[in-house]
Amino acid sequence: MARGFESKSVEQQQAEMMDRRPGRPRPAPEQQERDRQRQGLLLSRTRLAKQLEAATHPRHRQVLADGLAELDRQLASLQ
């Protein structure tokens, strides 16, 4: 058996165990999508903030600051 099939079997078993685990209900698909979008926006925001720290040219800093403001606006709209 190829390793790919073996790892898929383990992945499938883990997913089944998560479904059987009592206590924490699974979020709705819409909520899962919002969570994915939020995580992506937070990662982008972190990257832009680090670039802003390192940027020295005023115009570049302004573009990065505008990008951060837009990401903050998008994050606010998700909540």
Dump pLDDT digits (tens) for 11-34. Answer: 777 777 766 666 667 778 888 899
Number of domains in the chain: 1
Q: Is there a domain that residue 57 lies in?
A: yes
Q: Is there a domain that residue 9 lies in?
A: no
Query: How far separated are the first and last CA of the chain, in Å rounded?
Result: 46
Query: Sign of torsion, CA 34 40 44 47?
Result: positive
Dump pLDDT digits (tens) for 29-62. Answer: 888 899 999 999 999 999 999 999 999 999 999 9
Q: Which domain holds residue 79?
A: 30-79
Q: Is there a domain that residue 22 lies in?
A: no
